[in-house]
Amino acid sequence: MFPYFKESSSVDAVNSRIAPDVDARIREVMTSLVTHLHAFVKDVQLTPQEWDVAIDYLTRTGQICTTERQEFILLSDTLGVSMLVDAINNRRPPGATENTVLGPFHVSGAPSREMGACISLDGKGESCLFEGTVIDLQGNPVAAACLDVWSDNAEGFYDVQQPDIQPKWNNRGVFTTGADGKYRFVGIKPVSYPIPHDGPVGKLLAALGRGPHRPAHMHFIVKADGFQNLITHTFVGDDTYIKRDAVFGVKETLVAPYERNDDGETLWRSQFDFVMTRV
């Protein structure tokens, strides 16, 4: 009967068509994709009406995308796929700081600031001292480590979302460690915010009874010669949404202390050491 189509051999009908000289990785990825896609359709016995809904959903997801909005990335985020790809590609030994997703709001070229400087330029929010040490797995300080940090403002928006309202580079900065590996800067205690949910992804979240919020977090990229790049957040543990991050970005080891800093010049203090993995 092969190579004609049959329900029972549908995967072979498709995958046997791949030409012999096709790139091995393309073959591997597409063969697996077809296998799992057909398994899904068979598993749920997808109806034509549901297939219509899926076609329409994917089409609308593509059509809402602009240079400013990437709904397929949001979809990947909210189905846990972005975090899974990140996890698979950034496995680290026990004790090393874990990665999490970059997110859409990183901007290259933020200003380098003196250690201890304040990155909050709009004077809003609850001040927070961020400090700690960049170390290797043996606990040795990492000198000349570059920390690129960014967060939302007290209203839950990044500067690039409000270019007419927030000062440029508000809540962003780059810091470089000295021989002691220590870093220190003042920002605000970040706040939770919703991902864009006025499109197809918002509809899906609503259909699943899920909310669009991300728990409050500070973003960090830490780079140092001889070490793997670390892209991560530290999360505010007592945030309302800490156990229901819409994009699954929270890992247990990234929930950081955010404590009242009663003796200091800021309202809050968050101490977190970044443990780097050698390349």
In the range 173-232, which residues lie near a copy of itself by CB under 8 A? Answer: 207-210
Q: How far apart are CA 169 and CA 130, in angstroms?
A: 18
Give yes or no for a contact between 253 and 112, defined as CB atoms under 8 angstroms apart: no
Q: Minimum distance between the CB of residue 25 and a copy of itself, rounded to whole angstroms? A: 8
> Among residues 219 and 269, whose Cβ is nearest to a copy of itself?
219
Residue with tokens 């026990």, as numbered in its chain = 94
Name the one range near a copy of itself by CB under 8 A: 156-164, 246-254, 262-270, 271-279: 246-254
Q: Minimum distance between the CB of residue 153 and a copy of itself, rounded to whole angstroms? A: 26
Which residues ranging from 104 to 163 are in contact with a copy of itself (CB under 8 A)? none
Phi first, then psi: give them for residue 135, nearest 5 degrees.
-130, 165
String of DSSP letters for 163-214:
TTTSPTTTTEEEEE--TT-EEEEEEE----EEPP-SSHHHHHHHHTT---EE
> Among residues 26 and 144, whose Cβ is nearest to a copy of itself?
26
Choose which of 22, 107, 144, 165 interacts with a copy of itself (CB under 8 A): 22
Q: How far apart are CA 186 and CA 200, in angstroms?
A: 37
Does 60 sit near a copy of itself (CB under 8 A)?
yes
Choose which of 248, 258, 268, 272 interacts with a copy of itself (CB under 8 A): 248
Question: Which residues contact residue 107 at a Cβ distance below 8 angstroms, ignoring those fewer than 6 apart?
Answer: 150, 160, 172
Which residues ranging from 31 to 50 are in contact with a copy of itself (CB under 8 A)? 32-48, 50
Indicate the residue type of 83.
Answer: M
Which residues ranging from 61 to 80 are in contact with a copy of itself (CB under 8 A)? 61-63, 65, 70, 72-73, 76, 79-80
Give yes or no for a contact between 131 and 186, defined as CB atoms under 8 angstroms apart: no
Does 24 sit near a copy of itself (CB under 8 A)?
no
Q: Minimum distance between the CB of residue 41 and a copy of itself, rounded to whole angstroms? A: 5
Give yes or no for a contact between 276 and 132, defined as CB atoms under 8 angstroms apart: no
> Among residues 20 and 109, whose Cβ is nearest to a copy of itself?
20
> Among residues 65 and 143, whose Cβ is nearest to a copy of itself?
65
Count of positions on this chain that bind a copy of itself (CB under 8 A): 76
Phi first, then psi: give them for residue 61, nearest 5 degrees.
-65, -40
DSSP 111: P
> Among residues 210 and 260, whose Cβ is nearest to a copy of itself?
210
Name the one range near a copy of itself by CB under 8 A: 29-37, 140-148, 171-179, 216-224: 29-37
